[in-house]
Amino acid sequence: MSQGFQSAQDRLSDYDKTIVVTGVRRNLYVEFDFTVGEEILTVELVMPFPAFEEFCALNNARITEIKSDIEKDFEQLKWRHQKPSRD
């Protein structure tokens, strides 16, 4: 990881990072709004589900809302990408 990216990441760690899931496309992609700190800094993003999970983990972002009209589609997408348990 580059020095500049790491220091920027450190500066962002003080802010609350939230996600609102707004859509599911082609049963593969997650559409979402990513907010850092105040709601005036929000970006709309689209990612494949595995990249979305990684993005959430790397940014310590929490999902605060899943739009009600796509909740079922999002839950199915999550279920399809679950890692099998090793019982």
Q: What are the boundaries of each domain within the chain?
A: 3-80
Task: Tell me the whole-structure pTM to 2 decimals.
Answer: 0.80
**Residue 78: pLDDT over 90:** yes
Lateral strand order in the sheet of 17-25? 42-48, 29-36, 17-25, 62-66
81 or 40: which leads in pLDDT: 81
Q: pLDDT, tens digit, for every residue of 21-74?
A: 999 999 999 999 999 998 778 999 999 999 999 999 999 999 999 999 999 999
Can you give the pLDDT at residue 3? 59
